[in-house]
Amino acid sequence: MTERRACRLAKQPRGTQRYRAIRQEDEDALTQAIVLLASQYGRYGYRRITALAEAGRLWVGKDRVERIWRREGLKVPQKQKPRGRLWLNDGSCVRLRPTHKNYVWSYDFVSARTHDGRSVRLLNLIDEHARESLLVRAERRWSSSRVISALADVMVMKGVPEHLRSDIVLTQEGKAGEKRRSLSIPYGMCLTTTVPPSGFHEQGLSVRP
């Protein structure tokens, strides 16, 4: 097929097909300057970088800066969401900071579906300090006893953490607006959960003699 016929079918001018970009002599120096400015001013986009380049006597248009910006893969990082407070107004601690390994473990569920459309829930357990995935186990249905048994299996291999963090309550209603219960789990370990009225809770672990 000739070029004329191919361009006619693609509805594209032959001049566009034959166009070859002309690389300017200052392209490398300008690219280095833009990358340097972007690294110094991480929150600036290509328009602000263009203004800084012009202030530094680099006469360049924003369209050319944008082209180099995209070619080099530069982008403004997204703003991070502010984290919640680690304490309540009365000064009581809500969320512990992990300071060493086996200090705080976190577990939660992720829902998914198999090829036949049936739902499945995955129990995920991590060590917050080591950023280590300790457990990923899939079940169709999870009960409190299954969760406790799965956690106990990991504790036998990795040791017992000082605290467990989760928004899943494995307890029953208690007194004074709290939920408190000691759950006996295998291998001689005892899990005690205390939930304040705010709903966020920490779980402390102890080993029975």
Domain ranges of the chain: 24-80, 104-207
Q: Which residues pair with 120 in a beta bridge?
A: 112
Share of the chain above pLDDT 90, in %: 18
pLDDT exceeds cutoff 70 at 12: yes
Nearest to 169 by CA among 150, 192, 190: 192
Q: Structure pTM?
A: 0.44
Q: At 114, phi and psi to the nearest 5?
A: -85, 180
pLDDT of residue 89: 57
pLDDT exceeds cutoff 60 at 186: no
Q: Average of pLDDT values for 146-159?
A: 89
pLDDT exceeds cutoff 50 at 173: no
CB atoms within 10 A of CB 185: 18
Q: What would the pLDDT profile of 15-64 be if each residue is shown by its tens digit?
A: 888 888 788 888 888 999 999 998 888 888 889 999 998 888 888 888 99
pLDDT of residue 83: 64
- Under a CB-based contact definition with an 8 Å cutoff, are residues 172 and 193 in contact? no
pLDDT of residue 188: 37
pLDDT of residue 120: 92
Q: How far is CA 46 from the centre of its chain?
A: 27
pLDDT exceeds cutoff 90 at 122: yes
Cα separation, 85 vs 49, whole angstroms: 36
Token pair of 23, please? 């690389």
CB atoms within 10 A of CB 100: 10
Q: Tell which wins on pLDDT, 189 or 170.
A: 170
Mean pLDDT lowest for which of 20-29, 151-160, 181-190?
181-190
Token pair of 185, please? 């789990």
- Under a CB-based contact definition with an 8 Å cutoff, are residues 30 and 68 in contact? yes
pLDDT exceeds cutoff 90 at 134: yes
Given pLDDT bands bounded at 50, 70 and 90, which one contains residue 96? low
CB atoms within 10 A of CB 140: 9
Average pLDDT over the chain, rounded to whole? Answer: 76
